[in-house]
């Protein structure tokens, strides 16, 4: 392997050697501990250290890095205490995830490192969001994100590159092309000469770099970073390297030809760099031996610290408490001046007033800028807030939701508009696996609201009419809000934006322009997790939300002899069970009306909760009324049959007569 001097000082060259050596020595120790059963799993980066170390050394300490499980050199070069890393790998409290996740599945804001999740793709979009925040802050910072050659086949890779290119984001997309995705060789994964060629389609600068040459990695990345800080743009880097051990240790390397292993072993980044330093008289053999002995002793000392740490105590209450980031609701009371406006206007007002209140709030979505969104909720926003904060996005829900997470990580707030709630399926993974789990895993908030125009009644068919809240009420870590009135929508959206947790905010399309209400003109908040009691009665409890609230109101207006407690849930997660239980204990009967289909729905969960908590107070079985368990049809006749509106009165009267 040929090393060029690159005009680096001996001090820099020795520093790079130390940074390169430490992760190798740690790995060698970890492989011993793995065989001894003292750690449970290990993803080896042996042979790839020059990439992690070189990239990290080129970035400033306050610039974000998003590594993966073969990037130990990122963590050590950033100076994370080894005892904390060792505790993390043993599932102890001094680690970063309190035993809730393993390996490098964690982040550290102190060290500006954002760790991976096993679903690799969202990492790239998160880097976009972090870089966007840097661009908006005008702080001239670069973000580097790592991925393997296998993940370049994922849709998230292409979405993230496209967004970064369209928005000119200062991101280094670092591909570690190490030959195999588990056992699948690169020639079975892609059909181009170099992965760097994939940047061409996105109008993106790209380079191939010898990933085993620490001086080349550091020098070229350092030069790129210096340029990107002044001239923001994304760059795709393909680092040519090889994975000398299995995908993880249990996998082995039997599928790799021995000749190939021998070829790459001769290119070992540490052995060759040592030879260069010795040949150039930068270090002596004795100095290298002394350095290795000192590092090995440090590793042993830090291991002893982690060994002496007691096993993680089980505190069940803490497990539940850590699912959500702490949020103290601050009431801002409605003003007395009101105007009669529609649901769509109330949401628009709330967004606009939140944008005025929070200078770090960014709106993202398809066609939301000059066009104002397909429902015109953000019409006129660009004139007031500018296109930097009201951003049209490409059609790539996964990357944009991931970018919203990146904005949150870098101190911003984000509201993402799904053009239709149905389309959120294209961004499902980052919601349920990244946003929802991040605080529980390593105490990082996800300050993101996703607006969800939803619902039937407009003849839009199976892909524009779903009310899909049950996809998310099931997932711990998400909050779900579903207002039925303009007053509630305005106040609840304001609170959702204030809340540092991820919120799915459902807005029924059929109510957008059909429903008016007197709504306070100024900014105000309403608490999440508090239902509204719309009517009072002693005969029966009706629980509903969204458009179903209005169907129930119509029935009660037409049949005034029915004396019912009608509860509008408003928030589905957290759920106001106290209000439901109190009413059921009074009336003895419960009927739940929803627009969603029946099986596995929120109605099913409420019915089960009431059976468990209020059984002795019930005078009849709990009744659920919901849409058919079919996709939503397009024809008005079929759609009307699908919805439960006409079936509700019959079920209500039967339950009253029970």
For every residue of 32-66, DSSP letters joined together read HHHHTTSSS-----TT-HHHHHHHHHHS-TTS-EE
Is the pLDDT at 44 greater than 90, yes or no? no
Q: At residue 206, what are phi and psi to the nearest 5 degrees? A: -145, 155
pLDDT band, residue 257 (cuts 50/70/90): confident
- Per-residue pLDDT reduced to its tens digit, 338-361: 999 999 999 999 999 999 999 999
- Per-residue pLDDT reduced to its tens digit, 405-458: 999 999 999 999 999 999 999 999 999 999 999 999 999 999 999 999 999 988
User: In whole angstroms, what is the distance from residue 173 CA to residue 190 CA?
Assistant: 18
Is the pLDDT at 590 greater than 90, yes or no? yes
Question: Reduced to 3 states, what is the DSSP secondary structure of residue 534?
Answer: strand
- Helices assigned H by DSSP within 477-614: 486-498, 509-512, 547-558, 577-587, 602-614
- Per-residue pLDDT reduced to its tens digit, 481-495: 999 999 999 999 999
Strand partners, 416: 364, 450
pLDDT mean over 628-645: 93
| Alpha-carbon distance values, 367 to 161, 229, 453, 540 (Å) | 20, 30, 14, 45
Strand partners, 320: none
Residue 256 is predicted with a pLDDT of: 78
Residue 652 is predicted with a pLDDT of: 98
Strand bridging mode 107-108 / 113-114:
antiparallel
- Per-residue pLDDT reduced to its tens digit, 164-217: 999 999 999 999 998 777 778 777 878 888 999 999 999 999 999 999 999 999
pLDDT mean over 521-534: 98
Mean of pLDDT over the chain: 94
* Percent of the chain residues topping a pLDDT of 70: 100
Element (H, E) at 311: none
Q: What strand order describes the sheet that includes 540-544?
A: 532-535, 564-568, 540-544, 590-597, 623-627
Residue 510 is predicted with a pLDDT of: 96
Is the pLDDT at 58 greater than 90, yes or no? yes
- Per-residue pLDDT reduced to its tens digit, 531-580: 999 999 999 999 999 999 999 999 999 999 999 999 999 999 999 999 99
Across 29-43, 154-168, 455-469, least confident range: 29-43
- Per-residue pLDDT reduced to its tens digit, 14-28: 999 999 999 999 999
Tokens found for residue 281: 């008289």
Question: Reduced to 3 states, what is the DSSP secondary structure of residue 526?
Answer: coil
Within the chain, how many helices (H) and strands (E) appear?
Answer: 24, 23
- Per-residue pLDDT reduced to its tens digit, 390-406: 999 999 999 999 999 99
Residue 45 is predicted with a pLDDT of: 86
pLDDT band, residue 272 (cuts 50/70/90): very high
Residue 544 is predicted with a pLDDT of: 98
Residue 200 is predicted with a pLDDT of: 92
pLDDT band, residue 38 (cuts 50/70/90): confident
Q: What strand order describes the sheet that includes 413-417?
A: 390-392, 361-365, 413-417, 448-454, 503-508, 479-481, 571-573
pLDDT mean over 73-94: 94
User: In whole angstroms, what is the distance from residue 236 CA to residue 120 CA?
Assistant: 17
pLDDT mean over 36-42: 81
Which positions are catalytic?
464
With tokens 């170099």, the residue in question is: 194
Q: For 262, how many CA atoms within 13 A lie in the half-sphere containing its CB?
A: 3
Is the pLDDT at 244 greater than 80, yes or no? no
Tokens found for residue 45: 């980066």
With tokens 């609840």, the residue in question is: 492
Residue 328 is predicted with a pLDDT of: 96
Across 117-121, 220-224, 315-319, least confident range: 117-121
In angstroms and rounded to an integer, the radius of gyration of the C-alpha atoms of the chain is: 28
User: In whole angstroms, what is the distance from residue 111 CA to residue 97 CA?
Assistant: 15
Residue 489 is predicted with a pLDDT of: 98
């Amino acid at each position: 392997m040929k090393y060029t001097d690159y005009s680096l000082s001996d001090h820099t060259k020795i520093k790079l050697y130390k940074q390169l050596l430490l992760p190798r020595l740690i790995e060698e120790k970890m492989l011993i501990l793995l065989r001894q059963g003292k750690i449970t799993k290990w993803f080896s980066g042996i042979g790839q250290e020059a990439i992690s170390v070189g990239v990290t050394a080129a970035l400033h300490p306050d610039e974000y890095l998003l590594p993966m499980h073969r990037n130990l050199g990122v963590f050590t070069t950033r100076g994370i205490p080894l005892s904390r890393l060792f505790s993390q790998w043993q599932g102890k409290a001094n680690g970063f995830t309190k035993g809730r996740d393993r390996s490098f599945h964690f982040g550290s804001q102190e060290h500006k490192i954002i760790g991976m999740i096993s679903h690799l793709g969202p990492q790239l979009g998160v880097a976009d969001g972090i870089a966007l925040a840097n661009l908006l802050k005008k702080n001239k910072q670069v973000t580097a994100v790592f991925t393997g050659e296998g993940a370049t086949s994922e849709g998230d890779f292409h979405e993230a590159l496209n967004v970064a290119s369209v928005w000119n984001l200062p991101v280094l997309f670092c591909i570690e092309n190490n030959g195999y995705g588990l056992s699948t060789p690169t020639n079975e994964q892609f059909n181009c000469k170099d992965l760097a060629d994939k940047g061409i389609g996105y109008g993106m600068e790209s380079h191939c770099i010898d990933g085993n040459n620490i001086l080349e990695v550091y020098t070229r990345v350092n030069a790129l970073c210096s340029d990107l800080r002044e001239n923001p743009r994304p760059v795709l880097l393909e680092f040519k390297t090889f994975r000398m051990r299995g995908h993880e240790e249990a996998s082995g390397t039997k599928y790799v030809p021995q000749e190939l292993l021998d070829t790459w072993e001769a290119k070992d980044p540490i052995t060759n760099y040592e030879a260069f330093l010795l040949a150039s008289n930068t270090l002596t053999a004795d100095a290298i031996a002394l350095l290795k002995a000192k590092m090995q002793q440090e590793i042993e000392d830090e291991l002893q610290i982690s060994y002496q740490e007691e096993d993680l105590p089980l505190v069940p209450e803490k497990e539940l408490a850590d699912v959500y980031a702490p949020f103290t609701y601050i009431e801002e009371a409605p003003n007395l001046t009101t105007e009669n406006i529609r649901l769509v206007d109330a949401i628009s007002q709330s967004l606009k007033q939140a944008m005025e209140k929070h200078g770090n709030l960014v709106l993202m979505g398809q066609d939301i800028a000059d066009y104002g969104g397909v429902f015109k909720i953000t019409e006129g926003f660009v004139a007031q807030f500018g296109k930097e904060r009201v951003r049209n996005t490409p059609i790539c829900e996964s990357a944009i939701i991931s970018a919203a997470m990146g904005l949150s990580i870098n101190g911003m707030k984000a509201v993402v508009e799904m053009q239709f709630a149905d389309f959120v399926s294209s961004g499902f993974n980052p919601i349920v696996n990244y946003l929802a789990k991040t605080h529980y895993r390593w105490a990082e908030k996800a300050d993101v609201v996703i607006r969800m125009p939803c619902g039937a009644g407009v003849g839009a068919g199976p892909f524009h009419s779903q009310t899909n809240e049950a996809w998310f009420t099931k997932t711990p870590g998400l909050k779900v809000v579903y207002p039925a009135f303009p007053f509630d929508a305005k106040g609840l959206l304001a609170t959702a934006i204030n809340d540092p947790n991820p919120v799915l905010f459902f807005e029924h399309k059929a109510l957008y322009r059909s429903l008016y209400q007197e709504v306070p003109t100024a900014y105000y908040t309403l608490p999440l997790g508090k239902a509204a009691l719309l009517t009072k009665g002693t005969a029966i409890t009706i629980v509903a939300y969204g458009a179903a609230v209005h169907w129930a109101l119509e029935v009660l207006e037409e049949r005034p002899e029915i004396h019912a407690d009608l509860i509008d849930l408003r928030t589905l997660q957290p759920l106001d069970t106290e209000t439901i239980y109190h009413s059921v204990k009074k009336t003895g009967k419960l009927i739940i009306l929803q627009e969603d289909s029946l099986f596995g729905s929120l109605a099913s969960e409420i019915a089960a909760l009431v059976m468990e908590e209020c059984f002795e107070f019930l005078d009849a079985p709990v009744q659920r009324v919901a849409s058919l368990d079919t996709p939503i049809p397009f024809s008005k006749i079929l759609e009307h049959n699908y919805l439960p509106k006409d079936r509700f009165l019959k079920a209500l009267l039967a339950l009253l007569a029970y």
